[in-house]
């Protein structure tokens, strides 16, 4: 079965420092990949998505992610974090297996903590 | 344009009570979803509706029923609540474009349910 792994449960970063959140997936062909952000007490908001084409994808709020087929990864990056980026971040991949009807498989999430 | 709305925002039930969570979207999307979110487990799909008039089970459907009332509304019912159903419930909707297997899901703000 397909799976999505976010190895870091929590990450603490100083304000102004760079950020990389890791996401690995298990899937043979080119997947459809998403990053969502969830602010405390809120629903999920799409940051960016990759379906095909350029492997470096730009998203909202200054985030970007790079699809690396050889590493089965889709890591999220931001050059300089702001206190408002404190949130939980979820990686998801489309399940294109038989009978899946293309539902999303979600990682467990990474909570980002910003140090002042 | 409110996007995806959910009611209620909070609910406390006693074991064995029933309730219905309401969800509506005003984006004219065909597909709608119900997820539950538990700490450390990401999102798990309960039920989904690929189009008006159809519903299908997701990963964790036991103890739940759904109704796709019309294109806008998708409700989730707990017939006999159990403490294991204490969770945050999210509704989402998506417009899967012709020729695509998946697209962005838009989320409501969630319902925090506690079953005592």
Express each pLDDT in A42-100 by its tens digit: 889 999 999 888 899 999 999 999 999 999 999 999 999 999 999 999 999 887 655 55
Record: contact B44-A106, CB cut-off 8 A: yes
> Over pLDDT 90: what percentage of chain B?
74
Task: Choose among A32, A42, A106: nearest Cβ to B101.
Answer: A32
Choose the weakest-confidence range: A61-75, A79-93, B46-60, B68-82.
B46-60
Q: What is the pLDDT of residue B89?
A: 97
User: A-contacting residues of B 92-111, CB under 8 Å?
Assistant: 92, 96, 100-102, 104-110
Answer whether residue B6 shows pLDDT above 70.
yes
> Over pLDDT 70: what percentage of chain B?
93
Q: What is the pLDDT of residue B97?
A: 59
Of residues A53 and B45, more confidence is placed in: B45
Distance CA A74, CA B58 (A): 25
The band of B41, judged by pLDDT with boundaries at 50, 70 and 90, is: confident
Chain A hits for B58, CB-CB cut-off 8 Å, are 103
Distance CA B53, CA B15 (A): 31
């Amino acid at each position: 079965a397909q799976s999505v792994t976010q190895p870091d449960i929590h990450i603490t970063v100083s304000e102004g420092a760079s950020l990389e959140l890791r996401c690995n997936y298990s899937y043979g062909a080119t997947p459809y990949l998403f990053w969502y952000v969830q602010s405390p007490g809120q629903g999920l908001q799409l940051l960016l998505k990759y379906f095909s084409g350029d492997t470096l994808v730009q998203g909202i709020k200054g985030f970007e992610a790079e699809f690396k087929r050889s590493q089965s990864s889709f890591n999220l990056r931001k050059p300089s974090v702001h206190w408002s980026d404190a949130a939980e971040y979820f990686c998801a991949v489309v399940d294109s297996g038989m009978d899946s009807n293309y539902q999303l498989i979600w990682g467990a999430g990474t909570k980002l903590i910003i140090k002042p | 344009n409110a996007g995806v709305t959910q009611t209620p925002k909070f609910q406390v039930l006693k074991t064995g009570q029933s309730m219905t969570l309401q969800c509506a979207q005003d984006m004219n999307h065909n597909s709608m979803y119900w997820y539950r979110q538990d700490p450390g487990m990401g999102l798990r799909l309960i039920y989904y509706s690929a189009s008006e008039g159809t519903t299908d089970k997701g990963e964790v459907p036991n103890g739940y029923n759904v109704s796709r009332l019309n294109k806008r509304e998708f409700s989730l019912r707990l017939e006999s609540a159990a403490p294991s159903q204490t969770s945050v419930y999210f509704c989402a909707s998506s417009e899967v474009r012709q020729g695509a297997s998946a697209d962005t899901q838009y989320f409501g703000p969630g319902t925090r349910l506690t079953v005592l």
